[in-house]
Amino acid sequence: MENKKVLFLVGEEFEDIEVLYPFYRVIEEGFKPIIAWKEANSKVTGKHGYVVISDISFKEVRPEEYVALVLPGGRGPEKIRTLEEVKNITRKFFELKKPVAAICHGPQILISANVVRGRKLTSVASIKDDVIAAGGIYIDDSVVVDDNLISSRHPGDLPYFALTLIKALKSLK
């Protein structure tokens, strides 16, 4: 039987550790991380120079095939949030009520996908006002859970972000 897949949406200059930590972490738990970017089989470089290879293009993604969505931060979200496919993928995960885990600047994609209104969430402090403007209920905590939405503020929150994501993934089984 194939491993269940977790989808990562990345953009150039992503915050390296916010991709790599959950990426390796879901492998630990027996899931298969899949990296989506504008093109498949391409090198995408983080702010600190780590390189990941995309498995699939945004256009090819079918949310039904994944158990959860991870939205890492850094400058990546700004590079991809304007793409219709990125917004559609994100909205679809919410419709399917599958776990969506966003950290740091990751919630910029949530804003673009228009799924923030009325939801409790957190983000890096510098986009707090955008989250609030978009109708989100901003909570300054290491990890915030609102139904299927898991969010954290910055790399220092990664242990709590990962624990919560893993718990959600396990409860799916």
Catalytic residue ranges: 104-105
| Residue 49 near a copy of itself by CB under 8 A | yes
| Residue 168 near a copy of itself by CB under 8 A | no
Nearest to 128 by CA among 76, 163, 142, 136: 136
For residues 98 and 63, the answer to whether their CB atoms sit within 8 Å is: yes
State which residue, 7 or 162, has the beta carbon closest to a copy of itself: 162
- Describe the chain by its helix, strand, coil percentages, rounded to 5: 40, 25, 35
State which residue, 43 or 135, has the beta carbon closest to a copy of itself: 135
| Residue 34 near a copy of itself by CB under 8 A | no
For residues 58 and 84, the answer to whether their CB atoms sit within 8 Å is: no
Exposure of 10 by Cβ count < 10 A (0-12 exposed, 13-18 middle, 19+ buried)?
A: buried
State which residue, 126 or 173, has the beta carbon closest to a copy of itself: 126
* Contacts to a copy of itself by CB under 8 A: 16-17, 20-21, 24-25, 27-28, 48-50, 78-79, 81-82, 108, 111-112, 114, 116, 125-130, 133-135, 155, 158-159, 162-163
